[in-house]
């Protein structure tokens, strides 16, 4: 009898230990930021289902599946006054849910059930496919979209999954069937690929408990994308627009100084802002795009076609000048002051903070909720070192070059 009791106790202990590990693994994929003064709860769910999971002939199926799966939850969410946004990124899908505190659990339950339990129906597929095709037809041939795709192909390699637009193309999405969506959903939309951040007036323990009960215990599963294979020569692509687009993509690795690189993107873009000395510059942008294991700083200029090479050189020179010497203290402080304000205002909605937290958790496994709204101590030297750490840029020129001299 004693031996049976001991055996039972051992089994129970093993079961408890196993359950503890499972709960820990689930909790590792959840981050909660309690904000008592915020009027709504925002929940960001990142599903690690992206271009690398899509069959080669089905670009855009991840996004279509996400739209179809969530279509069933929309009536419930509408009745609760909750909002849901769905976006496709290279590495995964983003589901942003915003709801009043008294109904956020109901809204979250509806979303999780739609993603991981409910089957899809062919009517929803037909409807969402038509909507996405219409959306893509309206945007995919704009110079900005074409320039972005050209830069992606040059940076990652033409055959790399990330060279494809995350939403697919109007042509590829139009061929997808309800059966394709059903198969893709069953294979890829599983709770072990989800990372969740919640921001708002919630009790952290209760919110975590609610979510842990709805995620399965497996560790986070992410399909690794092939290594990028950037080209080593500048790409020039003819395009029938009246302006030309110049992009310079600087890769960085996992150990990059992200705060400093983001400041660098802001400082360099600021140099190309419209002014009396840059009248012929139509637009200038700088952004940091992260992925697991690194990322890129991408600058984009819109310029007259005849000046495209000169602006490309100026862009590279601007980054090189920051790498060459620390900015004077006065200039640096002015830029930093503005940059801090812009960064903070980017996070002024709870859904923006939830998105930032979920991405941070997904990319770095960090669950530090304060880090997302605070900047470290930035100095001119730190900015210089960050610029020096960048690899040579991949340059892409898009425009009507044949007629440029006219």
Partner 1 sequence: MLALALALAGGIAADTVRARPEHAGEAPPQQVAVHRQPALPVVAIRMSLLADDPPGYAGAGHLFQHLLLPSLQEQVRRVGGRVSIGRSADAVVYTVSGPASELDFLAGVLRSALRAPVVGTAELLSALNQVADERSAEREIAPSFVRASLRARLYPDQLPAGGTYLAAKRLETARLEPVWASMYRPERIAILAVGDVEPEAVRRAFRTLPEADPDTAETLADSLPAFGGRSPEATRGWVGAAWAGDSASPAALSVAARLLRRTLRARFPAAQVDAEHWWTHDGQAVALVMAAPGAQLPALRRASAAALDSVVARVDEEAVRGAADDVRREMLFYGRTPERMAELLGDFADRTGDRGAAQAFYEALGTVTEADVRTALEVLNRAPAARVEVPPQRLRTTP
Smallest gap, in angstroms, from Cβ of residue 35 to partner 1?
Answer: 4
**CA 203 to CA 357: how far, in whole Å?**
17
Smallest gap, in angstroms, from Cβ of residue 372 to partner 1?
Answer: 10
Please say which residue, 366 or 374, places its beta carbon nearer to partner 1: 374
**CA 106 to CA 322: how far, in whole Å?**
50
Smallest gap, in angstroms, from Cβ of residue 196 to partner 1?
Answer: 19
Residues at the contact surface with partner 1, assessed by CB under 8 A: 35, 37-40, 42, 80-81, 83, 98-101, 103, 334, 337-345, 347-351, 353, 373
Please say which residue, 109 or 236, places its beta carbon nearer to partner 1: 109
Please say which residue, 221 or 346, places its beta carbon nearer to partner 1: 346
User: Which residue is associated with the tokens 């009246």?
Assistant: 242
Please say which residue, 83 or 131, places its beta carbon nearer to partner 1: 83
CB 257 within 8 A of CB 385: yes
Smallest gap, in angstroms, from Cβ of residue 120 to partner 1?
Answer: 23
User: Which residue is associated with the tokens 């960064």?
Assistant: 343
Smallest gap, in angstroms, from Cβ of residue 82 to partner 1?
Answer: 8
End-to-end CA distance of the chain: 98
Count of beta carbons in the 10 Å neighbourhood of residue 186? 12
Smallest gap, in angstroms, from Cβ of residue 367 to partner 1?
Answer: 18
The DSSP secondary structure of 322-345, one letter per residue, reads HHHSPPPHHHHHHHHHHHHHHHHH
Buried b (16+ CB within 10 A) or exposed e, 328-348: eeeebeebbeebeeebeeebe
Smallest gap, in angstroms, from Cβ of residue 119 to partner 1?
Answer: 25
Please say which residue, 80 or 258, places its beta carbon nearer to partner 1: 80
Please say which residue, 19 or 81, places its beta carbon nearer to partner 1: 81
Look at residues 405, 406, 403, 400 and name the one whose alpha carbon lies nearest to residue 243. Answer: 400
Please say which residue, 144 or 347, places its beta carbon nearer to partner 1: 347
CB 179 within 8 A of CB 55: no
Please say which residue, 348 or 405, places its beta carbon nearer to partner 1: 348
**CA 154 to CA 203: how far, in whole Å?**
46
Cβ contacts of 172 within 8 Å, gap of 6 or more: 57, 58, 59, 60
Smallest gap, in angstroms, from Cβ of residue 281 to partner 1?
Answer: 18
**CA 54 to CA 69: how far, in whole Å?**
16
């Amino acid at each position: 009898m004693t031996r049976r009791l001991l055996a039972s106790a051992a089994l129970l202990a093993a079961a408890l230990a196993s359950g503890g590990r499972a709960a820990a693994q689930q909790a590792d994929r959840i981050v909660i930021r309690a904000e008592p003064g915020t009027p709504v709860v925002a929940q960001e769910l990142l599903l690690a289902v992206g271009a690398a999971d899509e069959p080669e002939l089905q670009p855009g199926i991840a996004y279509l599946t996400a739209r179809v799966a969530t279509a069933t939850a929309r009536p419930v969410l509408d009745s609760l006054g909750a909002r849901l946004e769905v976006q496709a990124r290279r590495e995964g899908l983003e589901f942003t849910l915003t709801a009043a505190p008294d109904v956020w659990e109901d809204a979250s339950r509806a979303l999780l059930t739609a993603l991981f339990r409910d089957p899809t129906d062919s009517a929803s597929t037909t409807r969402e496919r038509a909507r996405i095709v219409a959306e893509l037809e309206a945007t995919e041939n704009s110079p900005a979209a074409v320039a972005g795709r050209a830069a992606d192909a040059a940076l990652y390699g033409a055959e790399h999954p990330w060279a494809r637009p995350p939403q697919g193309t109007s042509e590829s999405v139009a061929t997808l069937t309800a059966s394709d969506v059903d198969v893709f959903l069953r294979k890829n939309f599983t709770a072990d690929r989800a990372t969740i951040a919640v921001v708002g007036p919630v009790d952290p323990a209760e919110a975590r408990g609610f979510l842990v009960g709805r995620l399965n215990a497996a560790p986070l599963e992410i399909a690794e994308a092939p290594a990028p294979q950037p080209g080593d020569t500048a790409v020039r692509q003819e395009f029938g627009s009246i302006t030309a687009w110049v992009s310079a993509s600087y890769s960085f690795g996992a150990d990059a100084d992200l705060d400093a690189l983001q400041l660098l993107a802001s400082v360099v873009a600021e140099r190309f802002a419209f002014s009396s000395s840059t009248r012929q510059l139509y637009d200038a942008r700088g952004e940091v795009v992260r992925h697991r294991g690194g990322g890129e700083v991408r600058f984009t200029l819109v310029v007259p076609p005849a000046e495209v090479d000169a602006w490309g050189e100026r862009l590279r020179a601007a980054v090189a000048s920051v790498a060459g010497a620390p900015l004077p203290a006065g200039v640096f402080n002015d830029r930093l002051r503005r940059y801090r304000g812009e960064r903070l205002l980017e996070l002024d909605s709870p859904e923006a903070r939830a998105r930032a937290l979920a991405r941070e958790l997904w990319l770095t496994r960090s669950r530090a909720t304060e880090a997302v709204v605070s900047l470290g101590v930035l100095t001119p030297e730190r900015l210089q070192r960050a610029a020096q750490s960048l690899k040579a840029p991949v340059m892409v020129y898009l425009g009507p070059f044949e007629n440029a001299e006219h």
